[in-house]
Amino acid sequence: MCRVHIRTLKIILLLREEASYAISSHMFCSHMKIVVHI
């Protein structure tokens, strides 16, 4: 039970990390596009 819970937490943390990385890279890309346009 506890092991499964820890595994689920690890998966959630990984997903959160990937999501935040994707969001930051997307923000960076749009920022670079704005800079290029200017």
pLDDT of the chain along its 38 residues, tens only? 567 788 898 999 999 999 888 888 888 878 777 677 65
Rounded to 5 degrees, what angle do the CA atoms 12, 15, 17 make? 110
pLDDT at 28: 81
Residue 10: exposure state from Cβ atoms within 10 A (0-12, 13-18, ≥19):
exposed
Model-wide pTM > 0.85: no
Q: Which two tokens stand for residue 36?
A: 């290029």
**Number of structural domains found in the chain:** 1
Question: How many CA atoms, within 13 angstroms, populate the side-chain half-sphere of residue 10?
Answer: 6
pLDDT at 10: 92
pLDDT at 15: 92
Q: For residue 35, give its domain range.
A: 1-38
Phi, psi of 15 (to 5 degrees): -65, -40
